[in-house]
Amino acid sequence: MHRFVVISGCSSGGKSTLLAELSRRGYNVVEEPGRRLVNEKAMSQGVALPWVDMSEFLRRCIAVALADRTSVGSPCDWVFFDRSLVDAAASLQYLTGESALAMLGQAYRYHHRVFLTPPWPEIYVTDTERRHDQTAALAEYSRLLKAYPSLGYEVSILPKVSVAERADFILEMLEE
C-alpha cells in the first residue's frame, strides 16, 4: 500500500511521541501491535508476552499487524504505522529460523520509504511494556537496518531533532 508509512527503529527512539504528533496533525496512526498485545495479555494474565513466550508473542504481533492493514482499508491520505509486520517477521525469523520475513514482507507491502528512529541513549527508558535493555534494543535496530532494505524498502534515518521537526522531515520526504 503506497499510503501506508512505517515508522520503526530502535526501541525508545521517540516513535510513539512522533506518531502522537502526526495524529495531532490529523493523520491516521496505527499503534504498535506489540504494545497493544502486552497491555491486553498482561490484563488477562496471558502467556503471549515477550518475557514468557517470545515466539508466540511475535506470531500474534504478525496477526495483529495483518488485521491492522485490513482495518485501515484504502486510505486517500497517509496512514502511519508504529512498527510493522516486517518488524515482527524479522524478529521471529531471528528467534526461530523460520523464513517469515521474505514471505510476509513481499506479500504485504508498505510505502517504499520506511523511517527508522536511531538509537538515542539520552531518551532511552524502559517501562511496563518495554522491559528489554538498551543492548537488546540496539540488536533489534541492527536487524531492522538489514531487514527493510533486503525487502526493497528505502530507509530514511530520522534526525535527532524536536518532535515537530521530525514530523516535518517525514512529511517533506513523502512529498518528494
**Residue 38 CB-density burial (10 A; 0-12 exposed, 13-18 middle, 19+ buried):** buried
Place of cell 496533525: 25
Q: What is the CATH number of the domain that holds 133?
A: 3.40.50.300
Q: What is the mean pLDDT of residues 78-98?
A: 91
**Count helices and strands in the chain by DSSP H and E runs:** 7, 5
**Quick one: pLDDT band at residue 106, thresholds 50, 70, 90?**
confident
Domain of 96 in residue numbering reads as 4-175
d(CA 175, CA 45): 44
Q: Total domain count for the chain?
A: 1
Q: Which three cell numbers stand for residue 130?
A: 518495554
Give dist(CA 66, CA 4) in Å, integer. 12
Helix (H, G, I), strand (E, B) or coil at 165: helix
10-58 confidence digits (pLDDT tens): 877 788 899 999 999 999 999 988 878 876 755 455 656 655 678 888 8
Residue 120's pLDDT band (cuts 50, 70, 90)? low
pLDDT reported for residue 104: 79
**Which run of H or E residues covers position 85?**
helix 85-96
Give the whole-angstrom CA distance, residue 80 versus residue 9: 14
Residues paired with 6 in a beta bridge: 81
C-alpha cell at 146: 538489514
**Residue 9 DSSP code:** E
Q: Is-contact 2 111, C-beta < 8 A?
A: yes
